[in-house]
Homo-oligomer: A and B are copies of this chain.
Amino acid sequence: MSPSVVVLTGGVGGAKLALGFYDLVPKGRLSLIVNTGDDFEHLGLRICPDLDTALYTLSGRANPELGWGRANESWGFMKALAELGGENWFRLGDGDLALHVLRTQRLAAGERLSAVTAAFVRALGVRAALYPMSDDAVATMVASDDGELGFQDYFVRRCCEPRVRGLSFHGAERARLGGGAKAALAAPELAAIVIAPSNPYLSIDPILAVPGVRAALVAARAPVIAVTPIIAGKAVKGPTAKIMAELGLEPSPLAVARHYEGLIDGFVLDARDAALEARFSVPVWATDTLMTSLEDKQRVARAVLDFAARLAGGGR
């Protein structure tokens, strides 16, 4: 059986690396376990930002300018919504809406999120598995200077401006890891479990908060490798560095590796931070982790697989 890869991921940064793996591993051998702590109900529609970003990215439909939503999008809905006085702080493209409307309808009819997602994956011709971290609702809540905020309220409506004091994942303690994700994490042919360069606190921690995920990572025979979301003290995208500072952490790949301590077998560091290498408590692989072109994404994915092979004792 050809080797498979599991990627734990949030939105755009993780989806980039996932796309690198998608073109690298045999079709059908890539599984993503995707953060759903950002999911929310808006205008009566169930929105799953990270699942959708993964779906659009792997199906070649992602909007590269926005970093979310679909390419070649139109905005007639938002314009009419504003005319009617509807809430318009969260932008929904016309094509994107089809996903939200269908998902809402199917969930209301009693389908599980994992089944609905799998149907979308098939419909858009994606030959990878996309697993929501759970079919049960988990809500990432941001304790901030402005009080406790729902994730999208913090992230989109308030543009990550309030100072973060802590994060919690409501419902996580009762959430169940889905069967597909569980099986993918335990697959004997697994070559690597990858923690994508998503925000560790906002995007990866909700996944790790689902009972069974940490244990599965610890139990996995395949190496668990995290890819740094921090390059030279800055996040490639998003508020990771800002949040780390607000949580009293140095925005450094060292702090990220420490955050994943006990779970990871290796850490992929950016070449710009190679000087820090000696200070990690896990094996480190330094490479250019900035992913702009498709070639970049495949190069980073290949580096992770090479690293995994070395960690697994196979060498290359």
Binding site for B on A (CB under 8 A): 43-45, 70, 73-81, 83-86, 93-99, 101-102, 104-105, 108, 119-120, 123-124
A124 to B86 alpha-carbon distance, docked (Å): 12
- A80 contacts B104, CB within 8 Å? no
In the assembled complex, the Cα of A83 lies from the Cα of B71 at a distance in Å of 14
Residue of B nearest to A42 (CB): B105
* Residues of chain B within 8 A of A70, CB atoms compared: 80
- Is the beta-carbon distance between A76 and B95 smaller than 8 angstroms? yes
Q: How far, in whole Å, are A97 and B97 apart by their CA atoms in the complex?
A: 9
Question: Is the pair A80, B105 in contact by a Cβ cutoff of 8 Å?
Answer: no
For the A-B complex with A80-B95, A80-B96 known, give 11 more contacts whose Cβ atoms are closer than 8 Å.
Answer: A43-B105, A76-B93, A77-B101, A78-B98, A79-B95, A81-B98, A84-B99, A85-B119, A85-B123, A86-B102, A101-B101
Q: CA A84 – CA B93 in complex, angstroms?
A: 15
C-alpha gap A101/B87 in the complex (Å): 11
Residues of B within 8 A of A79 (CB): 95
- Smallest Cβ-Cβ distance to A70: which chain B residue: B80
Q: How far is the CA of A124 from the CA of B95 in the complex (A)?
A: 24
Interface of A is mostly: helix
Pick 8 A–B contacts, CB within 8 A, sort by A.
A43-B102, A70-B80, A74-B74, A80-B96, A81-B98, A81-B101, A84-B98, A86-B98
Q: A108's contact among B44, B84, B97, by CB below 8 Å, is which?
A: B44
- Do A84 and B124 contact each other (CB < 8 Å), given the known contacts A74-B74, A77-B98? yes
> What's the nearest-Cβ distance from chain B to residue A77, in Å?
5
A123 to B104, CA, bound (A): 26
The answer on a CB contact under 8 Å between B95 and A77 is yes
Tell me which residues across on chain B come within 8 A of A108, comparing CB atoms: 44
> Chain B's nearest CB lies how many Å from the CB of A101?
5
**CA separation between A94 and B81, bound complex, in Å?**
10
Which residues from chain B contact A101 at a C-beta distance below 8 Å?
Answer: 43-45, 77, 81, 86, 97, 101
B77 touches A97 (CB 8 A): yes
Pairs of residues from A and B, 8 with the lowest C-beta to C-beta distance, nearest first? A76-B94, A44-B105, A80-B98, A80-B95, A94-B94, A81-B98, A76-B95, A74-B76
Output the nearest chain B residue to A119 by Cβ-Cβ distance.
B85
Closest to A100 in B: B101
Shortest CB-to-CB span from A57 to chain B, Å, is 16
Give CA–CA (A98, B74) in the complex, Å: 14
The answer to whether A123 and B44 have CB atoms under 8 Å apart is no
